[in-house]
Structure 1
Amino acid sequence: MTQAEAIRFDNVGRNFETRDGATLMALQSVKLDIEAGEFVSILGPSGCGKTTLLRMAAGLLSPSWGSVRLAEEDILKPRPDFGIVFQQALLLPWLTVLANVLLPVDVQGRDTAPFRERALDLIEMVGLKGFEDRYPTELSGGMQQRVALARSLVHDPKILLMDEPFAALDAMTRENMAAELLRIWDANRKTVLFVTHGIAEAVFLSDRVVVMSARPGRISRIVEIPFGRPRSLELMASGDLRETFEELH
């Protein structure tokens, strides 16, 4: 494992307390190393702890036991060198596309002016050139999610964490967004942890797919994806992908 820029889950578990005072074990004994520049998807049934795992990587939750580290440093709070994309775009409706993309820089208290050119380049990269001054209500759901993707990259994060970012989109838009994400990843090669319910999506995007068990979530299997890069949408319909799809299913 490359220590400089890698996430390590070391014997991680997480309990939650229910309203009636009972203890619910969400995750149990998760051990996983994610190497720098790797695209790893987490796949599993609803309620298996996928999002909990990602939120611990983001510093939004702490493990009940074990540790989550970037290199040798415990992740105990949100980090400015991480980018996060959620299921919903969560754009601020009173800000333009450009201002929404620059938001992480503004929130960190940094001068946005030096990042303006990068933001414009990212807006063009996600196919929204000409929409810089539009507001979220003027965009489709897929376009809003493209803005969220550009926003997550504007401050040049080391790690990109994605929690089912295309789940709310229709099937065709979802496929196109997956292809767009892969194109951007090929250009930037960020370390990506991607949570999804979509088996074909996980196979298409990933270097490895981590399969989680039902609650309490544990790693049942890690599958290496055998396809080279770059990849195109034609892979989605290929027999080669179908074989890996069936193995994961």
Structure 2
Amino acid sequence: MLKEERHTYIIKQINLHNKVLSSDLSIELNVSEDTIRRDLNELAESGKVLKVYGGALSKSFHYPFQQNDIYARESKKEIARKVIGLIQPGMVLLAGGGTSLIELARLMPENLHCTVFTVSPLVALELTERSGVDVILIGGHLSKNSHINTGALTISILADIKVDLCILGTNGLSLEEGVTDSDWEVVQVKKAMIKASQKLAMVSIAEKLNSVQKMKVCGLNAIHYLVTDLDPADKMLQGYSKTLTVL
């Protein structure tokens, strides 16, 4: 594979999953880790990714207020519009982090009155612009990779609340493995969020469907709504629609 092809592949994986590991890319691309490190250094120097120890991060994920740089932003806005249709006045919600949830916060109607708990400071800041939304930021250790609060304090707080609907993004979703992620701390927080909720809405752009990360969050049976940018009748969603509501 040519260097340009490797770079294209790496950028796509970073945009989809927010973070990549050099060790994983080495296996996927069948090249040495030294080659991957050089690729990541070049991409970082050109301003396309953020180089970190062991891998790289998405610039659009870490600088979400630069709205033009958000990957698949129109798709995420379509997802946000669908999720808003699930929210009834007076509901108590629990929101995760990520650019899809930030788009949801930006599109929340001004006159929609509800309470939103969130583990994401960035989502919380966007929601404070809506006068009808009562925002409660759940504390903890702020992850530099995921930009959500994690750790024992976060999980302890989540154990003491019960909400109507939890809205989560995903790094991997497949019929066989369910919801998966690549960060152990994030997985533990997501599990606690699901336990704290009566219903779960999982949001995902189409490109993340049928992909698998290393750590399992939950099976498809835990999901009540799958919200994507696709038409619910799309063939890509047929397998999912057999076990949950697809929007």
| Higher normalized helix content (fraction of residues) | 2
Shorter-chain TM-score bucket reads 0.3 to 0.5
Higher relative contact order (CA 8 A, sep 6+): 1
